Amino acid sequence: MSNVEENTYSIELKKLALEEKRDQRESRFFTRHAGAIISAFVSVIAILASAYQNIQSSIQRTEDRILEFEQKKQELETSKLELRRNVAELFIQNDKTIFMSDQQTKNRFIKIFIATLPNDFINVILPELSSTLVTSAEDYSTIIGAVQNTNLPEDKRSAIKTAVEQSIKQASPQNDIVKPTVYVHYKNIVDASSVDKIIDALRQDGYKVPGKQLVQKSTNGDIRYYKPQDKEQAKMLRDIVQPVLDQLGSRLKIEDNSLLDLSKSFPNLPSGILELWLPSIASS
């Protein structure tokens, strides 16, 4: 064996001896610290298991909340359906009280109606009911004021007000010109047939007259308008009503000072609304 080979062999033996010593040291280290190593490993496993349980518990709570939300949503939809049924029953059972009551009761009903019903109800029902609910400028003012006080967006409030306005106006069949809507109030129940003749004359001339309303408030006979520019329309209405009163044998005269501008009292009313207030025709 040459010197080189002997040196190489010697070096390999030394390496082998060093590796044996290292293995012995590592074996002794693990032996001495085996308990600690195993404990640490077990702790890590426990931490991971706890974290997994927390994640599972969080997922379960989330699922429970989703289920609870869906149940609440279903209960809300059921409540809305029940409310719709109750509203329908309200109108069916109390139609005369609602639509033919005195002014104060009707105004109270309108405010409650708008304040309690859901927005989708207001959007659909209110314009359709307006032509029946509104029998005076005060009714109209109450509805518009109540709509304005809702939490609906401005565009929705404007759309409802426009729909309500359109529902109580109509174009003249003769020339498609929109004539004022006239609300007729009378004091004496025995004048009902005479008031009907006045209403017929107005309708024949193209006015929309929703009907007549028996009132308790006193009047000497006047025509009320709610925008200054409607004064001429009030005069034109007077020129139609006065000849009918004359034909009925009434001594009532609606003079210029009986044309009343109520624009300051009802600022939210649109133009094109007039009211005719009649005292007792039979005794005038």
Query: How does pLDDT run across 1-17, given as a tens digit for each residue?
Result: 566 566 666 676 666 66
Q: Is the pLDDT of residue 225 over 90?
A: yes
CA distance 158 to 22: 90
- The more confident residue out of 21 and 281 is 281
Determine, yes or no, domain membership for 176.
no
Q: Is the pLDDT of residue 220 over 80?
A: yes
Same domain, 145 and 199: no
Same domain, 55 and 109: no
Tally of domains within the chain: 3
Same domain, 10 and 49: yes
Same domain, 74 and 23: yes
Show which of 83, 111, 126 is a domain's final residue: 83
Show which of 42, 58, 83 is a domain's final residue: 83
Could you read off the pLDDT of 68-118 as tens digits, one per residue? Answer: 888 888 877 777 667 666 766 666 666 666 656 666 677 777 777 766 666
Q: Decide: helix, strand or coil at residue 185.
A: strand
Determine, yes or no, domain membership for 95.
no
Query: Could you tell me what percent of the chain has a pLDDT over 70?
Result: 65
Q: Is the pLDDT of residue 212 over 50?
A: yes
Same domain, 112 and 69: no
Cα separation values, 113 from 84, 96, 123, 148, 228, Å: 12, 16, 12, 14, 31
Per-residue pLDDT band for 49 (boundaries 50, 70, 90) equals confident
Whole-number pLDDT of residue 172: 40
Whole-number pLDDT of residue 103: 65
Whole-number pLDDT of residue 173: 45
Name the one residue in this structure whose structure tokens are 């989703």.
Answer: 66
Which domain range does residue 61 map to? 1-83
CA distance 92 to 94: 6
Per-residue pLDDT band for 127 (boundaries 50, 70, 90) equals low
Task: Give the β-pairing of 181-186 and 212-214.
Answer: parallel
Same domain, 7 and 75: yes
Per-residue pLDDT band for 244 (boundaries 50, 70, 90) equals very high
Mean confidence (pLDDT) of the chain:
77
CB atoms within 10 A of CB 100: 13
- What is the b/e burial string over 187-201, where b = at least 16 CB atoms within 10 angstroms of the residue's CB? bbeebeebbeebbeb
Could you read off the pLDDT of 157-202 as tens digits, one per residue? Answer: 888 777 777 766 654 444 455 788 999 999 989 999 999 999 999 9
Same domain, 73 and 117: no
**CB-based contacts of 185: which residues, under 8 Å, 6+ apart?**
136, 212, 213, 214, 215, 217, 219, 275, 276, 277, 278
Same domain, 265 and 205: yes
Determine, yes or no, domain membership for 68.
yes
CA distance 110 to 141: 11
Calculate Rg over the CA atoms of the chain: 44
Determine, yes or no, domain membership for 88.
no
Same domain, 11 and 38: yes
Determine, yes or no, domain membership for 36.
yes
Residue 178 pairs with which residues in a beta bridge?
Answer: 171
Same domain, 115 and 163: yes
Determine, yes or no, domain membership for 93.
no
